[in-house]
Amino acid sequence: DQGRQYTSHKFRNELMTHRINQSMSRKGQCWDNAPMERFFGSLKSEWMPEGGYSSEQEARADLQQYVMRYNNTRLHSYNDYRSPVAMEKLAA
C-alpha cells in the first residue's frame, strides 16, 4: 500500500528512528505483496484469539506455533492441497 500515510515524511522518519525498514510493493503491482497478505489474513482469521494475547511472550510462542503449522502441516489449495514445505520438496 503506497497510501499517503505510509509515504509521509513524518511516518518514514518515525520508522528510521526505530531502525525499521519499510517495505512497499511497486506502484501499480498489487500482487507483489499477495503472499504476505494471505498469510496474515489466515493468521488473523484462523488462529489469533479474539481477545488478543495477555503478554508479548504468549503472543510470540503462539505465533511461532502458527508459523510451524502454516509451513509444515496446513494444506494450501494453491499447492494442490500440500503444505509449503511439501511443495518445496517436490520442486527440489
Identify the domain containing residue 6 by its residue range: 1-33
Note whether 52 and 29 are same-domain residues: no
Q: Is 75 contained in some domain?
A: yes
pLDDT tens digits for range 51-82: 999 999 999 999 999 999 988 998 888 889 99
Domain count, the chain: 2
Note whether 57 and 18 are same-domain residues: no
- Rounded to whole angstroms, the Cα distance separating 88 from 72 reads 11
| Rounded-to-10 torsion of CA 60, 2, 34, 73 | 0
Q: Is 81 contained in some domain?
A: yes
pLDDT tens digits for range 18-57: 999 887 777 766 666 777 788 888 899 989 999 999 999 9
Q: Is 42 contained in some domain?
A: no
The pLDDT, as a whole number, for residue 85 is 92
Q: Report the b/e string of 6-27 with b at 16+ CB within 10 A.
A: eeeeeeeeeeeeeeeeeeeeee
Q: What is the mean pLDDT of residues 6-13?
A: 88
The pLDDT, as a whole number, for residue 54 is 96
Nearest to 83, CA basis, from 74, 92, 91, 34: 74
Q: Is 40 contained in some domain?
A: no
